[in-house]
Amino acid sequence: MRAVRLHGVGDLRITDEPPPDVPAGHSLVRVTAVGLCGSDLHWYGEAGIGDARLDRPLVLGHELAGVTEDGTPVAIDPAIPCETCPFCRGGDRNLCPYVRFAGHGDMDGGLRELMAWPTHLLHPLPPPLTAIDGAMLEPLGVALHAYDLGHVRAGSSVGVVGCGPIGLLLVQLAVAAGCTVVAADLLPHRLALAESFGARPTGEGLDGYGLDVTFDVSGSVDAVNHAIALARPGARVVLAGIPDDDRTTFVASQVRRKGLTIVLVRRMRETYPRAIDLVRRGVVDVAAVVSDRYPLARAGEAFAVAAGRTGHKVIVEPAS
């Protein structure tokens, strides 16, 4: 089978490898779609993310869909928690300190033609969901988890700072709940797509007190402080972005005087069934966020386009 491995900063190489072994409790999956995430771009551009560093050639990719040997199309949950620690037993599998995650550390991800994965972490895709939809369920799951952490109420006012794919999905979730949504992004094409989903640019539709909930989905210091500035006194500010230098700073006096609650997002919390249902019913249009699709042989080009941020979500299709 073919696989794409990261050997260093910007160094992607296509290799021919034997098919993976399939342990008990696992299924062999032919990978059909892989979304390139902002965290993949950290690995690609920095050979690491946060405090994790590249120590061996790594197959990236954790936004995954595929087809099992019996022909069932599936979305693949990329996180393999231990299932026995207090956090797993308490329902917070995303906080498991022993989790293994596709495309991170010693766990290869989905930029390959075949992968063996725990069968219980494969979610069948009902019609009319496509492989593209299946790969987009992971970023939708992160958006859902961030939305839950924001305690968003129907009809409230919401700000989304950073209109990459997860930010665009957050816009759709909030609009579907009848919220007034304002959005901010430095890239006009991203802001335009957010507006097409029902958001307004920041500065429009705000009262003098600010917004009930704001989300930073960028990770930059400016974005974090913009999300804080948009929040009303007593609001919640949800930080979903990953900063480039593993540091987040903000103006403490503004946060203190407003009495803000600041919450950080760790991946997702058991959101696949909800995400599948939202897409199946047409509440969220994940395919509208996809701008570029590439075969595995052009993975290097796909990463360059994603890093250039000229579009929205970039998908690699290993089976094509």
Question: Which pairing describes strands 261-264 and 290-295: parallel, antiparallel, or unpaired?
Answer: unpaired
pTM of the model: 0.95
What residue ranges do the domains of the chain occupy?
2-124+286-317, 142-264
CATH topology of domain 142-264: Rossmann fold (3.40.50)
* pLDDT, tens digit (0-9, with 9 covering 90-100), for 190-218: 999 999 999 998 765 455 569 999 999 99
* pLDDT, tens digit (0-9, with 9 covering 90-100), for 51-90: 899 999 999 999 999 999 999 999 999 999 999 999 999 9
E strand segments, the chain? 2-8, 11-16, 26-36, 48-49, 52-53, 63-68, 73-76, 79-80, 100-101, 114-118, 122-124, 157-161, 180-184, 200-201, 211-216, 231-239, 261-264, 290-295, 313-317
Burial 277-313 (b: 16+ CB within 10 A, else e): ebbeeeebebebbbbbebebebbbebbebbbebebbb
CB 231 within 8 A of CB 223: no
Give the orientation angle of helix 131-149 with respect to helix 272-280, to 10 degrees: 120
In the predicted model, what is the mean pLDDT of the chain? 95
- CA 137 remoteness from chain centre: 9
Check residue 205 and give its pLDDT: 46
* CATH node for 2-124+286-317: 3.90.180.10
Nearby residues of 219 by Cβ (< 8 Å), 6 or more positions away:
38, 162, 239, 241, 242, 243, 244, 248
Check residue 207 and give its pLDDT: 55
Residue 189 confidence (pLDDT) above 60: yes
pLDDT band at 245 (very low <50, low <70, confident <90, very high): confident
Token digits of residue 191: 């802001």
CB 36 within 8 A of CB 88: no
Burial 53-76 (b: 16+ CB within 10 A, else e): ebeebbbbbbbbbbbbeeeebbbb
Check residue 206 and give its pLDDT: 57
Torsion of CA 175, 177, 180, 184, to 10 degrees: -50
* pLDDT, tens digit (0-9, with 9 covering 90-100), for 275-284: 999 999 999 9
Lowest mean pLDDT across 10-24, 201-215, 299-313: 201-215
Residue 40 confidence (pLDDT) above 60: yes
Phi/psi for 288 (5° steps) reads: -65, -15
- CA 34 remoteness from chain centre: 12
Radius of gyration, alpha carbons of the chain: 19
Task: Kindly give the residue spans of alpha helices, DSSP state H, lying in the chain.
Answer: 38-46, 86-89, 131-149, 165-176, 188-196, 221-230, 252-258, 272-280, 299-308
- CA 289 remoteness from chain centre: 12
Check residue 115 and give its pLDDT: 98
CB 315 within 8 A of CB 291: no
